[in-house]
């Protein structure tokens, strides 16, 4: 962007997104830590990670206090001497300090991220019922961290090459960014379920796969960022008791918003508990209940045998015949007719 004329046309936009590189590592760290700790909210002290970002932008205030003419003169100088763009002499900090501090900060956060991964490995891989989805998530986080680290290395090498040898290093940045996006996209495409989070209750000292295994385990609900075993058990029981009693899942278009309103529990808590306990997202969880309900529907309705597949699907909450067929085939490997025939 420093080689385009956009800064001359809009001088106030010069490095307006300079906060973004500073924020990459904190966002990555908080994402990875939140998943590994199964957090549903950030702790107050974690917001302090963005304090350096704020201080960095305050450091740039002198540039924004310049007149438009003075800003344009400085920008023109950066066109003639590309090192000015990289060493950032326009702020309060001495020349070269800003990029050095940014690199040290990002490297420090990356090291803390590695620490979180190492600390969590035992819990994920020593779980009695080892879950491949959890292992995929763990590997994905290592990929993110590795990309972050090598991105930092590529950035510092690019700066050194451009400052010391006056060689354009834009290609290094672009190739590095392209590789990062490609690797992450391929991994997410091949293992999309990792976006649902870790399965089980990993955050406690002795992780368990299901709440049924968490007998006698109690936690304080205060000062924790994850769903405690006690709260998780209550939410899980409330969800299942409500659905069994009200059968609200038979409504076409039933959503997590509807369930949240009905049981007066925030959506993010419902989602977290379903993800951890059932290992599914909300839609998959509800569709499983609908398929299971077919046994009850067939037993209670004497005219069940005369209904079409489309009608049966709509009665249990599926919006179309296609979605009904797809849901049954995904869970049983059978067509609806074959599956319904074998129901007791």
Q: Give strand pairing partners of 208.
A: 201
Is 250 in contact with 316 (CB distance < 8 Å)? yes
CATH number listed for the domain at residues 227-341? 1.10.10.60
What pLDDT does 48 receive? 93
pLDDT tens, residue by residue, 114-147:
999 999 988 888 766 667 888 899 999 999 999 8
What is the average pLDDT score of the chain?
87
- The rounded distance, in Å, linking the Cα atoms of 85 and 34 is 35
E strands in 89-224: none
Residue count (the chain): 344
Find the angle CA(34)-CA(108)-CA(27) to the nearest 5 degrees. Answer: 35
Domain ranges, ordered by start, for the chain:
6-196, 227-341
| Span 85-120, pLDDT tens digits | 888 899 899 988 998 899 999 999 999 999 999 999
pLDDT in tens, 279-324: 899 999 999 999 999 999 999 999 998 999 899 999 999 999 999 9
- The pTM of this model reads 0.80
For residue 29, pLDDT beyond 80: yes
Burial of 329 (0-12, 13-18, 19+ CB in 10 A): middle
pLDDT digits (tens, 9 = 90+) for 200-240: 888 877 787 888 777 766 665 555 688 888 889 999 999 99
pLDDT at res. 3: 46
> Contact 282/256 with Cβ under 8 angstroms?
yes
């Amino acid at each position: 962007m420093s080689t385009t004329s956009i800064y001359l046309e809009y001088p106030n936009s010069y490095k307006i997104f300079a906060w973004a590189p500073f924020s990459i590592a904190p966002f990555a760290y908080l994402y990875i830590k939140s998943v590994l700790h199964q957090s549903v909210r950030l702790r107050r002290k974690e917001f302090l990670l963005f304090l350096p970002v704020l201080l960095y932008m305050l450091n740039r205030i002198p540039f924004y206090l310049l007149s438009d003419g003075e800003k344009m003169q400085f920008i023109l100088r950066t066109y003639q001497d590309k090192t000015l763009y990289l060493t950032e002499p326009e702020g309060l900090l001495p020349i070269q300090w800003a990029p050095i501090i940014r690199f040290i900060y990002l490297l420090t956060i990356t090291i803390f991220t590695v620490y979180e991964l190492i600390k969590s490995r035992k819990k994920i891989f020593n779980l009695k019922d080892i879950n491949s989805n959890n292992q995929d998530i763990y590997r994905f986080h290592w990929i993110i961290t590795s990309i972050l680290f090598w991105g930092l290395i590529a950035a510092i090498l690019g700066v050194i090459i451009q400052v010391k040898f006056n060689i354009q290093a834009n290609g290094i940045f672009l190739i590095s960014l392209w590789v990062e996006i490609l690797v992450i996209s391929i991994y997410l495409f091949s293992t999309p379920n990792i976006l649902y989070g870790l399965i089980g209750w990993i955050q406690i000292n002795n992780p368990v796969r299901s709440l049924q295994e968490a007998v006698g385990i109690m936690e304080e609900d205060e000062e924790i960022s994850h769903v405690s075993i006690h709260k998780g058990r209550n939410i899980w029981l409330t969800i299942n008791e409500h659905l069994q009693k009200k059968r609200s899942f038979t409504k076409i278009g039933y959503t997590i918003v509807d369930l949240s309103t009905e049981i007066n529990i925030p959506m993010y808590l419902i989602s977290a508990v379903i993800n951890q306990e059932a290992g599914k997202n909300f839609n998959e969880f509800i569709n499983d209940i609908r398929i299971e309900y077919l046994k009850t529907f067939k037993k209670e309705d004497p005219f069940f045998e005369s209904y079409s597949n489309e009608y049966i699907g709509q009665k249990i909450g599926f919006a179309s015949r296609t979605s009904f067929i797809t849901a049954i085939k995904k869970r049983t490997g059978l067509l609806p007719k074959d599956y319904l025939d074998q129901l007791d």
